[in-house]
């Protein structure tokens, strides 16, 4: 319409005379040319956007959903509960998508993005990368496709400040290679390798023990300022093996495995303290730091990765299994405790004393002991030990007003499996106890683990659900809940995934075919262990 008006004005002025008419005619012709140029540019942009959209649709349609089943359980009750977990995932995801898309995490009450220090200062979509395989496993295909499209075309891992090597490995690399395993989509593998390259300078130390923090732009590594005189942390540098080993498998490049195998060799050869691994090791001297041993914070996933490295390789990594066996035998001798009422727990070992405290983080070990029972001597003992630890952790939930487990709990005086210090009373949507419920259910089929899982679901729904997602709580013993306003990425990656699998058919993501990294990202076992 605008072009027609301009043409009519030009025709009217054709018969005119004088400089004024000529000038006006010139201006109209210039406006016409400008308008036509802008129209053509807009049309070209529209065509390009349509081509991009078609290409992206074709790209996404080319990746088949290769899970052999949807895991639908035979029990009507399990089906109902499983559907509820899927709805919880949708609620958590929708809030993130609406208010924090592309940010690392969501503040579901403030309706904004959030980023913990482990991610640095950059928005790098941690929740998208971390939660995507949960979407895929739950069959939430529309949400998965949007997440995949974001990673393929918008995700740029270029943090501007120091980042945690451990957290990036388990959440980003772990999440991406798990998606590659589930879909065989090369894009995921390539993205994982790009990120791994940015972590590699962290290993440039005299011992090969990596720093805990890396600046991805400069390649400069350092350790946390609070970590025992510049030491690296056992649970961090000892929990890289699964991801780097599998990355070498799928890329054909051994350099990733070489890095973590050197770490393993140092840990194997370094003299232990009564067979125990302290939580701190200096990357320059190779000497232990503080004589503090823990199955919880600072130690936990190192032991998990010894066992799971053996499982991941189909039983060929016998060194890992031997080191696992020696480590848990030493911890049983030195750290296992039984409370006055008969609750079994592992306290932290400091010097010659055992602290009568257990971290929520260490509640994963119920599942670990049970899972490992198949591969070492005295399997009945370790299956029972797994059951005992899981029951202790369940008690910590049962003993709180909210029926949520505290960050740490103690066994002192008349109190058993309860937090006694204010800074131990919070719950940040952690998965470890639920992880043990899942593993124990798969191995024993004891209905109580599904029932305990459902109690946790009801407690999370009652105390953590808010209008735009789920939030941690500051005091699990308080009758009036106060939220911390953070929806952790691991809530989607781990807590909801383990709950979903707890109510799925046992052959769905089978423990005979898959092993989970410490962020609950499943990786395929090289060959089944028989």
Q: What is the DSSP letter of 200?
A: G
Angle in degrees, 0-180, between the axes of helices 141-153 and 76-99, rounded to the nearest 10: 40
Catalytic residue among 407, 475, 485, 494: 407
Catalytic residue among 105, 348, 416, 432: 432
Question: Tokens 């807590």 map to which residue?
Answer: 495
Is 338 marked as a binding-site residue? no
Residue 179 near residue 234, CB atoms below 8 Å: no
Q: Among positive and negative, which fits the CA dihedral 204, 209, 242, 407? A: negative
3-state secondary structure 383-415: HHHHHHHHHHHHHHHHCCCCCCCCCEEEEECCE
Q: What share of residues in the chain are helix, strand, coil (percent, to 5)?
A: 55, 10, 35
Token duo for residue 93: 């995801």
Backbone angles phi, psi at 48, to 5 degrees: -65, -40
Residue 194 known to be catalytic: no
Token duo for residue 271: 């003299």
Return d(Cα 303, Cα 505) in angstroms, integer: 28
506: Cβ contacts below 8 Å, ≥ 6 apart: 442, 445
Return d(Cα 364, Cα 386) in angstroms, integer: 9
Residue 407 known to be catalytic: yes
Residue 317 known to be catalytic: no
H-helix segments, 114-208: 126-137, 141-153, 165-167, 174-183, 186-199
DSSP 213-278: EEETTTTEEE--TTSTTT-EEHHHHTS-HHHHHHHHHHH--THHHHHHHHHHHHHHHSPPBTTB--
Token duo for residue 310: 């053996």
The gap between the terminal CA atoms of the chain, to the nearest Å, is 76
Catalytic residue among 130, 162, 167, 243: 167
Question: Tokens 């109690």 map to which residue?
Answer: 455
Return d(Cα 347, Cα 335) in angstroms, integer: 6
Residue 197 known to be catalytic: no
Token duo for residue 146: 């949007």
Residue ranges at the known binding site for Ca(2+): 518
User: Which positions are catalytic?
Assistant: 167, 300, 407, 432
């Amino acid at each position: 319409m605008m072009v027609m008006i301009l043409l009519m004005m030009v025709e009217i002025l054709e018969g005119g005379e004088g400089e004024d008419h000529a000038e006006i005619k010139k201006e109209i012709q210039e406006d016409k040319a400008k308008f036509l140029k802008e129209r053509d540019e807009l049309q070209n942009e529209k065509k390009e956007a349509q081509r991009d959209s078609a290409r992206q649709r074709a790209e996404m349609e080319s990746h088949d959903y290769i899970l052999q089943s949807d895991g639908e359980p035979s029990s009507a009750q399990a089906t109902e509960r499983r559907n509820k977990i899927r709805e919880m995932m949708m609620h958590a995801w929708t809030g993130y998508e609406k208010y924090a898309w592309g940010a690392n995490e969501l503040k579901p009450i403030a309706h904004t993005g959030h980023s913990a220090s482990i991610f640095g200062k950059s928005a790098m979509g941690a929740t998208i990368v971390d939660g995507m395989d949960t979407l895929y496993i739950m069959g939430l295909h529309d949400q998965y496709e949007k997440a995949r499209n974001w990673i393929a075309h918008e995700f740029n891992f270029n943090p501007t400040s120091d980042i945690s090597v451990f957290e990036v490995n388990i959440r980003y690399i772990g999440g991406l290679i798990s998606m590659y395993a589930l879909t065989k989509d090369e894009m995921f593998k390539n993205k994982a390798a790009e990120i791994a390259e940015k972590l590699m300078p962290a290993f440039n130390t005299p011992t090969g023990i990596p720093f805990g923090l890396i600046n991805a732009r400069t390649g400069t590594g350092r350790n946390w300022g609070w970590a025992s005189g510049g030491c690296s942390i056992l649970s961090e540098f000892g929990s890289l093996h699964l991801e780097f080993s599998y990355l070498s498998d799928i890329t054909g490049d051994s350099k990733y495995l070489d890095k973590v195998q050197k770490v393993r060799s140092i840990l194997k050869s370094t003299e232990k303290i009564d067979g125990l691994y302290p939580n701190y090791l200096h990357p320059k001297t190779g000497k232990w730091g503080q004589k503090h041993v823990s199955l919880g914070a600072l130690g936990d996933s190192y032991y998990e990765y010894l066992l799971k490295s053996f499982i991941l390789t189909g039983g060929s990594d016998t060194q890992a299994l031997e080191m696992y066996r020696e480590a848990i035998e030493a911890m049983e001798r030195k750290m296992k405790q039984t409370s006055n009422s008969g609750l079994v727990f592992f306290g932290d070992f400091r010097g010659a004393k055992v602290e009568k405290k257990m971290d929520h983080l260490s509640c994963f070990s119920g599942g670990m002991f049970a899972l490992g029972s198949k591969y070492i001597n005295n399997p009945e003992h370790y299956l029972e030990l797994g059951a005992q630890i899981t029951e202790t952790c369940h008690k910590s939930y049962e003993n709180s007003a909210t029926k949520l487990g505290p960050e740490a709990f103690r066994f002192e005086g008349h109190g058993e499996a309860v937090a006694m210090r204010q800074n131990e009373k919070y719950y940040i949507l952690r998965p470890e106890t639920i992880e043990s419920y899942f593993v124990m259910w798969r191995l024993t089929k004891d209905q109580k683990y599904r029932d305990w899982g459902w109690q946790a679901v009801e407690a999370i729904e009652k105390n953590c659900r808010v209008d735009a997602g789920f939030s941690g709580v500051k005091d699990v013993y308080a009758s009036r809940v106060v939220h911390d306003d953070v929806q952790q990425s691991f809530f989607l990656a781990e807590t909801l995934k383990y709950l979903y699998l707890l109510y799925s058919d046992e052959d769905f993501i089978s423990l005979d075919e898959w092993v989970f990294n410490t962020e609950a990202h499943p990786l395929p076992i090289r060959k089944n262990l028989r």
